[in-house]
Amino acid sequence: MSPTGVYVHVPFCVARCAYCDFAIHLTTDEAVHARYYDALVREWETRASGPGPVVSIYFGGGTPSLAPPAAIARIISAIKHLSPVAADLEVTLEANPGTVTEDTLHGYREAGVNRLSLGVQAADTQILKAMNRTHNFVQAVEAIGWARAAGMDNVNLDAIYGYPGQELADVERTVQALLDQEPEHLSLYQLQVEPGTPLARDVSRGRAALPDPDLTADMADRAAELSEAVGLRRYEVSNFARPGRTSRHNRLYWNQDPYVGLGMAAHSFDGRRRSWNVRSLSGYLARVEAGQPSELSGETLGQEALMSEFVWLGLRQVDGIAALNFSQRFGVTLESRFGSVIEPLRRSGLIAAERGRLFLSPRGFEVMNRILPEFLPESPQELS
Amino acid sequence: MTPQVLDQMQLERERGITIKAQAVRLSYRRPGESEPYVMNLIDTPGHVDFTYEVSRSLAACEGALLVVDASQGVEAQTLANLYLALEHDLAIIPVINKIDLPSAEPERVAAELLEVGVEGEPVLVSAKLGLGIDTILDAIVDRIPPPSGDAAAPLQALIFDSRFDAYKGVLVYVRVASGTLSASDRIRFMQGGGEFQVQEVGVFRPALTPVAELGAGEVGYFAAAIRDVRETRVGDTVTGAERPAATSLPGYRPAQPMVFSGLYPVDSQEYGRLKEALEKLQLNDAALVFEPETSEALGFGFRAGFLGLLHLEVVQERIEREYGLSLITTAPNVAIRVKLPGGGELLVDNPARLPATGSIEALEEPFVDASIIVPSEYIGAVMDLAQDRRGEYRDMTYLDPLRVLITYRLPLSEIMYDFFDQLKSRTRGYASFDYTFDTYRASDLVRLDILLNGEVVDALSVIVHRQKAEVRGRALVEKLKELIPRQMFEVPVQAAIGGRVIARETVRAMRKDVLAKCYGGDITRKRKLLEKQREGKRRMKSVGNVELPQEAFMAILKLGPS
């Protein structure tokens, strides 16, 4: 039985961040929030008959820390009630500084949350303002202290680099300030300008200028250097962790393991089929409350698509993929299926195959967008 | 009524130009007279690239309406078309259009017409408001002689155009000079030799409208289940198979391609489809010529000849739109005449094929006679530009005290790209420009090669004048550096003449290209981004291990003034 994850989407936010194109909902109406948490439990009750034991529950957003601890507790216990869970179950909650208190963090810990992911994003007040974040760095430090006091011994901090107006020194300062908090895990995301966001409009109208790509590359290198110097090892494009503290949940995604996504716009994967829920809050509530499926659409992957995806998802990780794992899953060897793609990449020094693993070289890792498409099936996705 | 009713091609409508001549027949009853007059009109293109279309049409006529804009006045194109009409000995009716414009100056324009030798009272009209249309129709009746052909004589009809129709086969556009042509006739092409049974005869109203027969003097079409458009050569004479005419009508000179370019499919699998597209376009475009060629960089493609840059653009756009093909077009060039040491000569229409210096006695390139009409205050600006383009001054005539006609002899290669744009910008849009082919003349030319990663890319070679080679070379590598996206490896871009590198730039290696985030398990979105990345790569042409965008091959067109 494959280990399974449960993703729980909490869409509520107090403001939209300038770079954000996630499925969120700006409301503080407590009645709406309560209806939504009821719907999450109800959705789980109709979908719980998943395969293996649940190894991870992940509250993502939106801003999950807007949910009262009691709501989080109810959802966690509903999951445990209907599904076997692993002894070392990881329960992550994303939180924004400024939306948590000492009490709520205690409450989350009591409810079973054992990993906190805090969206700090930057140490610099100006940049935080430009991002339309509703907190400052002092509030972030305060939240980390409360989390530690509440017994959270697994804390991730998020930051973004490559933001308009950022200099190399700003990124160094932010990363150093985060490292000073001694997190177990660090996610350093290069800014992606998504169409339709306020940031995209500012960039297209010339009101914001992205840093030069070479400068952004320097930022990435410098941030990685600082992190690794204090023992946070990179294990995926944007993620660094102390030994044994990698994100169980994200590894499910990268290892093509199944997960159930609850809530509006949440994505699920059952091992063959990828599906996604209706994207609006009203649509989601209407469906779940009427006892209808929350799924909007989906696609079933054929064997070729699964093999391809397994490789390109796996290669996002520094350690890449195990050849044995591939042949056990698909009944053919990695070599026989992808040898002709791998060989020229290996000769160019972009990929390496050692000790039974296939992984990108440091240079290959830097330009993976140029390499991973080589593993896509020839024709566009075969769907059924 | 639909505006631009005769410009039926989508491109013509979008660009507001006429590319293809269109025939139309109308009947006009003059007030007070009982019998209607039947008129056959042909609307012709104005752009210099399509002069060939115009000259074919004029050969099928008795007279011409010379339409001049009431505010722009006589333009270089007006003169070019006027001279064509005079060559065909046609009766000319000057028409001054757009008299409704506030800036209209019909008296000044009438004086200019006299100055350039157009006799006869100009007809003042506004096509937009419908003013003066009756006057034009009356002028046609009064001033243009009726056709003189003998209906009883053997059939002689001049082919002035043809078009392929999927249902009827080739539609042959003819002007009947003598005899009659009817739907039951068996005809013969006097030069082509083919004999066919006519199945339909008709006229243009402007939609194809079948009639029983076409008499002497009439313009129309016929269909005879002809499958191959090459049977129906434009300029050939159609006669009766039973009672053939003794002589054929004077034909046309075949269209002379002036500008050549390599056409290659981005996806080399599409070679067959490109060939098919070119063959189909050629059915309706006798001036388009092409033959297969191979490029080390681009693989299998075609070297195609065009009447000019607009013609090239039109063909390229039609291939991409109508056949859904993605094309690499190499920088257009003129054909160079190579005098060989032994006394022989060679016409080279692909710069990469220019022989080594040792096997060249001399090089010649095509020159044109160019006419530029411009307000006299810009004479200096025009002369500077022409000088810079290796122009040789010929003559200057004042059309009126403020406007002047300047003529220059210029190398075609120097006016091909941006000459007209430059002329316009230096004369604040007032200049008009036209040219006719003169002859081949000796020039001191060299081949400029471009090297990527140390390898010559044959499709990027150009032939330039020796004195301009260094400047061009530098500008070209700078432009290429801009156009070539960063690759995984550093790419040196060099320009060289005869193996000597004269300029170098470097496209630096891309530092990073990664997708940072996984959106809460939305793997599908990430896969789509990777697929998009791959599509982007497929639109590039891989030359050696360098990925080149389509624009890179046209870089020379995008250089600033040189």
ipTM of the complex: 0.90
Q: Phi, psi at residue B190, to the nearest 5°?
A: -65, -35
Q: How many CB atoms lie within 10 A of CB B190?
A: 17
**A261 and chain B in contact, CB less than 8 A:** yes
Mean pLDDT of A24-37: 95
E strands within B429-490? 432-442, 445-452, 455-456, 462-465
Cα separations in angstroms, A278 against A293, B56, B415: 10, 64, 60
Q: What is the largest CA-CA distance in chain A?
A: 60
Q: By C-alpha distance, which of B383, B390, B423, B380 is closest to B407?
A: B383
Nearest to A220 among B512, B517, B531 (CB): B512
- Chain A residue numbers touching B517 (CB-CB < 8 A): 189, 192, 238
Residues B420/B441, Cβ–Cβ less than 8 Å: no
Q: How close is the nearest chain B Cα to the Cα of A194, in Å?
A: 12
Are the Cβ atoms of B513 and A22 closer than 8 angstroms? no
- Please give the CATH number for the structural domain made up of A303-375: 1.10.10.920
Q: What would the pLDDT profile of A324-348 be if each residue is shown by its tens digit?
A: 999 999 999 999 999 999 999 999 9
Q: Which residue's structure tokens are 């967008």?
A: A369
**Chain CA centroid to CA A145, Å:** 23
Its pTM stands at 0.74
Question: What is the rounded CA–CA span in Å between residue A170 and residue A167?
Answer: 5
CA angle in degrees (0–180, nearest 5) for B126-B128-B132: 30
pLDDT at A247: 96
Question: What is the rounded CA–CA span in Å between residue B512 and residue B509?
Answer: 9
Element at A221 (helix H, strand E):
helix A213-229
Question: What is the rounded CA–CA span in Å between residue A155 and residue B367?
Answer: 77
Are the Cβ atoms of B515 and A373 closer than 8 angstroms? no
- Chain A residue numbers touching B520 (CB-CB < 8 A): 7, 9, 22, 60, 261, 266-267
List strands edge to edge, sheet with A185-190: A233-236, A239-241, A185-190, A155-161, A115-121, A85-95, A54-61, A4-10, A259-262, A267-269, A273-277, A295-300
Mean pLDDT of A277-289: 96
Q: What would the pLDDT profile of A92-117 be if each residue is shown by its tens digit?
A: 999 999 999 999 999 999 999 999 99
pLDDT at B541: 84
- Chain A residue numbers touching B534 (CB-CB < 8 A): 373, 376
Element at A276 (helix H, strand E):
strand A273-277
Q: Are strands A54-61 and A85-95 parallel, antiparallel or unpaired?
A: parallel
Q: What burial class does residue B199 get, using C-beta atoms within 10 Å of its C-beta: 0-12 exposed, 13-18 middle, 19+ buried?
A: middle
pLDDT at B1: 47
| Side-chain half-sphere CA neighbours of B427 within 13 A | 28
Tokens, residue B172: 């042959």
Mean pLDDT of A269-285: 95
Q: By C-alpha distance, which of A85, A19, A4 is closest to A51?
A: A4
Are the Cβ atoms of A309 and B523 closer than 8 angstroms? yes
Given a cut of 50, the residues of chain B with pLDDT beneath it are 1, 562
Q: How many CB atoms lie within 10 A of CB A344?
A: 11
- Chain A residue numbers touching B488 (CB-CB < 8 A): 348, 350, 367, 370
Q: How close is the nearest chain B Cα to the Cα of A367, in Å?
A: 4
Mean pLDDT of A168-187: 97
| Beta-bridge partner residues of A119 | A158
Local structure of A47: helix, strand or coil:
helix
Tokens, residue A55: 């190894």
Residue A384 has pLDDT above 50, yes or no: no
Q: What burial class does residue B87 get, using C-beta atoms within 10 Å of its C-beta: 0-12 exposed, 13-18 middle, 19+ buried?
A: exposed
Residues B191/B248, Cβ–Cβ less than 8 Å: yes
Are the Cβ atoms of B512 and A299 closer than 8 angstroms? no
Element at A311 (helix H, strand E):
helix A303-314
Q: By C-alpha distance, which of A122, A121, A70, A63 is closest to A95?
A: A63
Q: What would the pLDDT profile of A244-263 be if each residue is shown by its tens digit?
A: 999 999 999 999 999 999 99
**B517 and chain A in contact, CB less than 8 A:** yes
Residues B220/B25, Cβ–Cβ less than 8 Å: yes
**Residue spans of alpha helices (H) in B154-230:** none
Q: What is the distance in angstroms between the CA of the first residue and the CA of the last residue of chain A?
A: 24
Q: By C-alpha distance, which of A129, A124, A190, A201 is closest to A163?
A: A190
DSSP class of residue A229 equals H
Instruction: Match domain A4-253 to its CATH number in 3.20.20.70, 3.60.20.10, 3.40.50.150, 3.30.470.20.
Output: 3.20.20.70
Are the Cβ atoms of A367 and B510 closer than 8 angstroms? yes
CA angle in degrees (0–180, nearest 5) for B323-B329-B334: 125
Question: What is the rounded CA–CA span in Å between residue A258 and residue A314?
Answer: 14
Domain boundaries, given as residue ranges, for chain A: 4-253, 303-375
Q: How close is the nearest chain A Cα to the Cα of B514, in Å?
A: 5
